[in-house]
Amino acid sequence: MMPWVARSLWSLLALLTLLTLCATTFGALKLPLDILWHGDSTLRQIWFTIRLPRVLLALTIGGSLALAGCVMQGLFRNPLADPGLLGISSGAALAVAMWVVLPFSLPLVLMLYAPMLAAFLGSLAVTMVIFVLSQRNDNSLSRLLLVGIAINALCGAAVGVLSWLSNDAQLRQLSLWGMGSLGQAQWSTLLATASLMLPTVFIIWRLAKPLNLLQLGDEEAHYLGVNVRQIQRRLLLCSALLVAAAVAVSGVIGFIGLVVPHLLRMWLGADHRAVIPGSVLVGAILLLVADTVARTLVAPAEMPVGLLTSLLGAPWFLWMIFRRGGQHG
Amino acid sequence: MAKRLQAVNLCYSPVLRDINLTLAPGELVALIGPNGAGKSTLLRALTGYLPPDNGHCLLDDKPLSAWTPQALSRQRAVMRQQSQLGFDWPVEDVIIMGRAPWEQGNSRNVVEQVMAVTGCAPLSGRKYNALSGGEQQRVQLARALAQLWVVDAPQGWLFLDEPTSALDLYHQQHLLRLLKTLTQTGNLHVCAVLHDLNLAALWADRLILLHEGEIVAQGSAQQVLQADTLSRWYGADVHIGQHPGSQTPQVFLAP
């Protein structure tokens, strides 16, 4: 890795730390950091049990979504691949909605992970479908995105049917969660998400080099000694897992996975050894900032952060399509 | 270093039938044949990408499938016709990918050497996707050579699928002269699919003519490039002449 790239990553980490500390002070209630040393214990309690997990959850989810986008773009060799656009998030969302509405039950130990398990099955199913389709022939972008549209429509309709079946409490839970919000933040959800995310990030980081070689093409990577099928399978599983962990906790938060890796590639180049950690850091920063805005802008109420990221991300997506012009079709 | 690559009764239905072939270092072989004869498929079978339905592909008497991917990738490299890259990479980064099977220690050094011999040095610092088709082919050749580079020269088996398809006259000549020189050191075997029979005649030690998945003729240019052989297997009406500067036959289409 070039020295300037490493320096950039370290400065991102520093920025992330700084912003994290700042973000814990903002919110419906201002909590300046010095309450940690000498303040009353109620405020400290609020900071520790509500504010801190919320902020850390934003980091975790933002990092996961951005990294999932980064990995998918690498696998599909396509800068427009995004878990949201390809329908992977909505596959996960549908599975979670089924979990909320339909009467399943599981042993108590698994209950904490149950939404994630459901989300994982959903995201994995969609990922597989899309990947098989993309392998079949030309890997054309329009085809992938069309499949994504179809899957989004299908899952959206199915979630609609489930909402129609659901009772009032379930309906409220579904619709709030569906807009994408970090309002559920607690230490338990944070730990569940982070315990999935951190190992997954580590595994993906270890696969950065073969993922680089895959950019030459599947066949070329094979000639360079890469076990192509195995690497693809692992990366798909990992990215589905990241999407699942994020969606199960926070609903569908769109466009982070599209925007962040793209920015990183413009800045640091295409090498995944830089883009992978960079995506995690910038994704975390972006969602942290968006979530902080979402919960301070209309305080004491808060807006779902998913609406905010989509409002910013969708125009970006349009811009990318226009900029690429006739390159695909 | 391995001593020979052998195809024994190699079948890949329905494209290849009963191919027997030995490829040894020090030789430049041209695979020729009409469209759809199975040249690219044969290449993929010889490189271990396509596992044969029947028969074997043996590298030092050991089936290719029994080699670990890394050990195999240190013995043979492949350059395909056209390679599109995901995302935008600098030329050096593409070439250094060829060093993936090896320890990374002297990669930069090897990259410099292969860029010099393939004429890629002027492309240094450019982005791969912004290059012309011919320039991309040269970069891919440099990458393939980097993969086989040991000390100061490439060793092993280099497979090329129509390496000259996008090259201008100068670079066609440069490429084939380079391949010829590299094979003459005795450590490199080059097996290239060539469409241009006249290039094959000038530089290949052996021509292998494929038709409907079978080897129908092989040998020196004088043996293979004969008017009746070519019109029989290609269906084209040709004259055979002689190269004005050497003894090799040259093929001319009848008007």
Alpha-carbon separation of residue A325 from A84, A93, A141, A318, A322 (angstroms): 22, 32, 13, 11, 5
Specify whether the CB–CB gap between A57 and A182 falls below 8 A. yes
Smallest Cα distance from B186 to chain A, Å: 23
Q: Answer whether residue A294 is part of any domain.
A: yes
Specify whether the CB–CB gap between A203 and B27 falls below 8 A. no
State phi, psi for A81 to the nearest 5 degrees. -70, 130
CB-CB neighbors (< 8 A) of A78 in chain B: 86
Cβ distance B89 to A270 less than 8 Å, yes or no, reads yes
Cβ distance B80 to A220 less than 8 Å, yes or no, reads yes
Smallest Cα distance from B217 to chain A, Å: 29
Please list the pLDDT of chain A residue by residue as tens digits (329 residues).
788 999 999 999 999 999 999 998 887 778 887 777 777 788 888 888 888 999 999 999 999 999 999 999 998 888 888 888 888 888 988 988 888 888 776 666 667 678 888 888 898 889 888 888 777 765 566 777 788 888 889 988 998 888 888 888 888 878 777 777 787 788 988 998 899 899 999 999 999 999 999 999 889 999 999 998 889 889 988 998 999 888 888 888 888 999 999 999 999 999 999 999 999 999 999 999 999 998 888 877 888 888 888 888 888 888 877 876 544 43
Q: Answer whether residue A328 is part of any domain.
A: no
Q: Answer whether residue A27 is part of any domain.
A: no
Where does residue A114 rank: exposed (0-12), middle (13-18), buried (19+ CB within 10 A)? middle
Domain that holds residue A244: 58-314
Looking at residue A191, which CATH number applies to its domain? 1.10.3470.10
Residue of A nearest to B99 (CA): A224
Q: Answer whether residue A112 is part of any domain.
A: yes
Alpha-carbon separation of residue A146 from A86, A92, A153, A310, A329 (angstroms): 8, 18, 11, 19, 12
Q: Answer whether residue A170 is part of any domain.
A: yes
Q: Is A79 on the interface with B (CB under 8 A)?
A: yes
Domain that holds residue B126: 5-253
Cβ distance B97 to A270 less than 8 Å, yes or no, reads no
DSSP state letter for B51: P
Cβ distance B93 to A271 less than 8 Å, yes or no, reads yes
What span, in angstroms and rounded, lies between the C-alpha atoms of A53 and A183?
Answer: 10
Q: Answer whether residue A204 is part of any domain.
A: yes
Residues 6+ apart with CB under 8 A from B36: none
Among the partner residues A212, A226, A270, nearest to B88 by beta-carbon distance: A270
- How many Å is the maximal CA-CA distance in chain B? 57
Instruction: Count the domains in chain B.
Output: 1
Specify whether the CB–CB gap between A238 and A204 falls below 8 A. yes
pTM of the model: 0.89
DSSP codes joined into one string, A242-276: HHHHHHHHH----SHHHHHHHHHHHHH-S-HHHHH
Q: Is A78 on the interface with B (CB under 8 A)?
A: yes
Q: Is B94 on the interface with A (CB under 8 A)?
A: yes
Q: Answer whether residue A108 is part of any domain.
A: yes
Q: Answer whether residue A272 is part of any domain.
A: yes
Most B CBs within 10 Å, among A1, A76, A224, A328, to test the B interface:
A224
Gyration radius from chain B CA atoms: 18
Before B122, cis peptide (omega within 30)?
no
Where does residue B50 rank: exposed (0-12), middle (13-18), buried (19+ CB within 10 A)? middle
Most A CBs within 10 Å, among B83, B87, B158, to test the A interface:
B87
Cβ distance B100 to A213 less than 8 Å, yes or no, reads yes
Among the partner residues A209, A212, A225, nearest to B70 by beta-carbon distance: A225
Residues 3-62 of A with CB under 8 A from B: none
Instruction: Count the domains in chain A.
Output: 1
Looking at residue B184, which CATH number applies to its domain? 3.40.50.300
